[in-house]
Structure 1
Amino acid sequence: MRILYVDDDPALARLATRVLARSDFEVVHAPSISVGLDLFTSEDFEAVVLDHYFESQTGLHFLEAIAESGKQTPVLYVTGSSDADVAIRALKGGAADYVVKTATDDFFPLLVSALNQALENARLRSEKEEADRQLVVAKERAELLLAEMNHRIANSLSLVSAMIRMQMQIAKTDETKTALNETQNRITAIAGVHRSLYTSENVGEVQLDVYLGPLLAELQSANAFARGISVQSDLCQVSTSADKAVALGIILIELVTNAMKYAYPSGTGDVRITLRTEGDGAVLSVEDDGVGYNRTSGPKGTGLGTRLINAMATTLGAELTFGHDGRSSGTHIAIHWQQ
C-alpha cells in the first residue's frame, strides 16, 4: 500500500521508509508541503502521514488545501508531545487520526497501528457508501417498477371501463344499463387510485384531494341523469394508503350516485362533498338539500351500493353517520376514519 509521507526531516523519512516497508507499506517521501500537494493531486495513495512543523508552514495548510479535493484518503497527523491543541485543530481540519512524535521506540509501532486502523476505517466507510449507493439505486428502481405497474393497471382498468361502456350501448334494458354504468363507476374509482400513485412523488401514498377531485368530475360527466345536478367539493389535503383510498373512492362514488339519482326528483339541485381533517383522522361527507333518506325504508335500488358502502367502511375501520346536519330537509352522510 502506497503511503505519502510529508516531512521535511530526510533522516526520519528514510527511517520511516525502512520501518514501514516491514509492514508492507511503500513510502513516497515529500520533503515539503508544496511537493506533497503535487504528489497528492497527481498520484493515488492509500493514506498520508503528515508532519506538523515545516520551515514556513504547518501541516494544517496541507489539510486546508486538500479539503475540497473530494478524495477520501485518510491523513494521519504527526505532532509533538506537547501539541494537544494542534492535534485537535488537525482533527477538525479533516485528519483521520494523530500520532504523537516521541524520541522513544514507541513512535513507529504506534504509527503502523494508526495507519492500519485508518485504512480499515476508510475501507468500512467506502463499503458503507457503496452500500448506500446500491440502496438508493434499488429504491429508485423499485419505485420506477411500482409506478410502471400502477400505470399499467390504470390503463388496463380504463380498457375494461371502455368495454363496459360499449356493452351499455347494446344493452336491451334500462336495468342492465344502470347496472353496467354503476360497475363502470366503481372501476373508475379503482383506476383513479393507480393513476394517482404513478403520478405522485410518493408512490406509497395517495393525496385524496388530488384523487377525489377528478373522480367526481368524471362521475358527473359520465352520467346522463346528473346533468341538472351541481356537484360541489371542498377537499383539504389529506394523504392515505392506496387501500384506504380505494375504499373511500368507492364509498364516495356510491353516495354521490345515490344523491344524484334520488335526492332531487325534479332533476336539479346541489350535492356537496367535504373532506377535512379531524384530530388524528379525517372526515369525508356528502350532503344535499333533497327529499332526504329514510334508512328504515330500505334501498331504492338493488341494495348493492349500500352493501358496498358498509363493506368498505368495515375495511377502513370507519364510522358512518347519517343525519340532516341541522337542516329541515336533505341528507348528510359522513365517513369518519383514523389515519
Structure 2
Amino acid sequence: MRTLCIRVVFSVLFTLISGYHGTSQIIDFSRENSYKQIFRQTDNFGFSYLDTLELGYKNAPTDSLRLTILNDLAYYWHTRDLQKAYEFTRMGLKEAKAKELKTWVGRFRVTYGAVLLRDEKLDSARIVLGQAMEVLNQKEYPFLYTQLGYVYEREGNLSAAAEYALRSLRLGEKFNDLHAQAQAYSDLSNLFWKQEKYQKGLEQGLLALSLFEAYGMNDLDYDFALYVVGNQYLALNDPENALKYYSHAISIGERYGFYNNLSDIYISLADLHGSSFRYADAETAALNAIQYSERLNNNFMLMRSWLSLGKLQNLQGKFLSAITSLQTSIDIATEDFGDAFFLSEAYQNLGKAYAGSHNYKDAYHAFEMYDQLQKEVFTEESAERMSQIQTELEVAEKDSTIQLQDTQIKKQRIIQTLGMIVIVLLFLYLLLIFKSVRRNRENNKLLQLQNEEKEFLLKEIHHRVKNNLEIVSSLLILQSEQISDTNVRSAMVKSQQRVHSMSMIHQKLYQGSDLSNIEMKDYFENLGSHIINSYGMEDRINLRFAMKPIAVDIDQAIPIGLIVNELLSNALKYAFPGNRKGEVTISLEQHESVLHLEVSDNGVGKMVSQEPEGTGFGTQLIKLLTTQLDGEMKLVVDKGTLVSFDFQRIKAA
C-alpha cells in the first residue's frame, strides 16, 4: 500500500507540473478550433481543468461552443461536487430552453440524469432520461442508454441494466462509435461480476480496455473499466494483476479528480489487502474510500466504503467495531436505496460480526435479511437474462470470428493472386536484368578490348618516344666525340644526360602498369646510377635515397627528373674535388598536398658559388623548371650543400 500511495503522489505531482501547460491550451478563442473538447479531442490537462472551463465558457463566441463547454463542465463536476454539477446543469438547461435548442435540451437532460443518479434520486433520473430520448438523435442514444442502465443496476434490476448495455453496444457498432462499444463491454463486465461470472466478465472487461485504448483517451469511463477488470482478477484469485489495474486506475482518477471512481477503487483495494492479511494497508484504503465518498457527498459510495471497513474488521476479529461500521453502512442505505446487491453483502457481514460477538439472535435476523435480499438480486429472470446475454455475446463472437475468417480467406486469396502477379512480374524483371547483365558483360568485354588496345598503343608511343630520345642521346654522344673544345663537349654531354633522363621517364611508362604516373624512387635510382657511371665515380660516391616509393604524375615527373639530373651532375662535378669520397642524398616526400624534394651532399660546400663555374645554364634551367612547377627553392651551404624544393602536387586526371 505504501508503494501504491507513493505512486499516486508522484502521479499528482506530475499532473501539477506537466498538466498545467496542457490545461492552459484547452480553450483559446483566438484559434479556429478554439475549444479542444475534454476527453473527446484531448486529455492533455491536469486536475484544474474544471476551473479552466468555468472561467472560459462565458466568453465563447457562439452558442454551440458555449453550451458544449457548459455541458462538459456540468457533467464532469458530478465526479467531484454534486451541488456544482446541479448548478451548471440547470444553467445549461435554462439557456438551451430559452433559445429553443431542442438537441441541447436533450443533452443537458442526459447530464442532469447522470447527476440525479449519482445523488441517489433514481426515479427522477429515469424520468429526465426518458424526456431526453424524445429529442435526441440515435447517434447520441448510447450515452443515454448507459445512464439508464446504471439506474436499473442501482435498483437491482440487472437484467434491464444488461438490456440497455446491449442496446448501447449495438448502436456503437452501427455508428462505428468505439467509445460507446467500449463503455457497453465495460458495463457488461461489471454486471457479469455481480452475477459471479468472473471469467466471462474478465473477457468483456479486457475487450472494453482494448477499445478504449484504440479510442485513445484517458477518461472517466476508461478509468472505471480498469477498476472493473481489477475486480475480475481479484475475484479470480489473481491479486497481482488486480493491483496492477487498480494502480493504473488510481493514477488516472487522481490526475482528473474522479472522486467516485477513486472511492470504488479504494473499496476494492481494502478487500485485496485484507485478503492478503495486509490489514494496515487495507484500513488505509477503506478510510480513503470513505474520504472520497464524503467529498462527493454520495450515499451509495459512502455506504459501500463503510461496508469495506466492516468486512476488514470482521477479518481481523474486531467484531464490535465491525458491527458499528456495518450498521453505519446499513443506516446510510435508506429504504429506497435500491441496490440489494451491496445491501445484502452488508447484512451478510453484519450477521458474521454478531455471530463473532456471540449475539446469535441479531446474527440470525441479519442473515435472514441477507437471504431475502439475495433473492431479489439473483432472481430466476435475472439469471436467465444474463445467461441469454452471455449466449448472445458468444454467438456474436462466433459470427464475428466467422466473418473475420471469411475476410481473412478473401484477403489470403487476394494476397495469393497478388503473389502470383508479383512472381510473374519478378520473373520478367529478372529476365530483363539477365539480358541487361549479359548485354553489359558483352559491352564490358568490348570496352576492355578497346582499353587494352589503347593501352598497348600508348605504351607503343612511349616506347617509340623513348627510342627516339635514345637516338638523340646517342647522336649527342657521337657529336661530342668530334668536338675538341672542352666546354662545348661538356655542354653536349650534359644535354645528352638531360635527354636520357627524359627517355627514362618514357621507359618507365611503357614498362609499368600505370600510364600516367611514375614511381620516383626507382626512377631516381636508375637515373643516379646512370649519371654516376657516366662520370666514372661509382667507386667514390655513394648515392642514398631517403624516401619511400611515391608515384608522381608525368607532367611533374619530367621537370623533377631534370632538376635532380642537374643537381646531381653539379654535385659530382664540383662538390668532391681531388678524388674525394662522399655521399649524395635524394628524397621526395608528400606533406598533405605539397611535394618536398631535397638533394644534399657532404662535399666542399661550393656547389653553387657567387661566380658559378661553367656556363651557368644548369642553374638557369633549375630556376626555370622551378617556376614552371610553381615551386619554391631553398639553398643551404653548411658542411656540404642542401637544395630543397616545395611543389604543389598535381592530381592525376
TM range (shorter): 0.5 to 0.7
Equivalent position to 1:240, from 552, 560, 580: 552
Contact residue 196 and residue 210 of structure 1 kept, 8 A: no
1:80-138: CA deviation from partner (whole Å, max 9, x where unpaired): x979xxxxxxxxxxxxxxx9743xxx787666544443333322222222222222222
Contact residue 206 and residue 239 of structure 1 kept, 8 A: yes
The corresponding residue for 1:189 is 501
How much has 1:254 moved relative to structure 2? Answer: 0.6
Equivalent position to 1:129, from 441, 446, 452: 441
Given residue 634 of structure 2, which amino acid in structure 1 is its aligned partner?
T
SS at match of 1:210: helix
Q: Sort the Cα spacing of 1:116 and 1:264 in 2 relative to 1 into closer, same or farther, 3 A.
A: closer
2:595 matches 1:285: no
Which 10-residue stretch deviates more, 176-185 or 271-280? 271-280
Question: Take 1:232 and 1:308, find their aligned partners in 2: how far apart are those partners?
Answer: 23
Q: After superposition, where does 1:1-339 map in structure 2 within 5 Å?
A: 101-102=416-417, 113-224=425-536, 226=537, 229-234=540-545, 235-280=547-592, 281-293=594-606, 297-324=610-637, 327=638, 329-339=639-649
Question: Take 1:181 and 1:140, find their aligned partners in 2: how far apart are those partners?
Answer: 38
Greater Rg, structure 1 or structure 2?
Answer: 2
1:278-335: CA deviation from partner (whole Å, max 9, x where unpaired): 42234332222333248672432212111111121122222211003xx4x2211112
Percent of aligned pairs sharing the same letter:
24
Question: Take 1:294 and 1:133, find their aligned partners in 2: how far apart are those partners?
Answer: 56
SS at match of 1:297: coil
Q: Sort the Cα spacing of 1:121 and 1:294 in 2 relative to 1 into closer, same or farther, 3 A.
A: closer
Question: Take 2:648 and 2:556, find their aligned partners in 1: how far apart are those partners?
Answer: 10
Question: Take 2:597 and 2:508, find their aligned partners in 1: how far apart are those partners?
Answer: 18
Given residue 261 of structure 1, which amino acid in structure 2 is its aligned partner?
K
- For structure 1, the residue ranges without an aligned partner over 5 or more in a row are 1-80, 84-98
Question: Take 2:511 and 2:538, find their aligned partners in 1: how far apart are those partners?
Answer: 30
SS at match of 1:284: strand
- Residue-pair matches, total: 237
Q: CA RMSD in A?
A: 2.7
Given residue 336 of structure 1, which amino acid in structure 2 is its aligned partner?
D
Q: Sort the Cα spacing of 1:320 and 1:227 in 2 relative to 1 into closer, same or farther, 3 A.
A: same
The corresponding residue for 2:329 is none
Q: Looking at both structures, which has the greater relative contact order when contacts are Cα pairs under 8 Å and sequence separation is at least 6? A: 1
Question: Take 1:100 and 1:251, find their aligned partners in 2: how far apart are those partners?
Answer: 76
**Normalising by the residue count of structure 1, what TM-score does the alignment of the two structures yield?**
0.63
Question: Take 1:110 and 1:312, find their aligned partners in 2: how far apart are those partners?
Answer: 67
Question: Take 2:532 and 2:412, find their aligned partners in 1: how far apart are those partners?
Answer: 83
Q: Sort the Cα spacing of 1:229 and 1:121 in 2 relative to 1 into closer, same or farther, 3 A.
A: same
SS at match of 1:119: helix
Contact residue 462 and residue 510 of structure 2 kept, 8 A: yes
Contact residue 600 and residue 642 of structure 2 kept, 8 A: yes
Contact residue 318 and residue 337 of structure 1 kept, 8 A: yes
SS at match of 1:124: helix
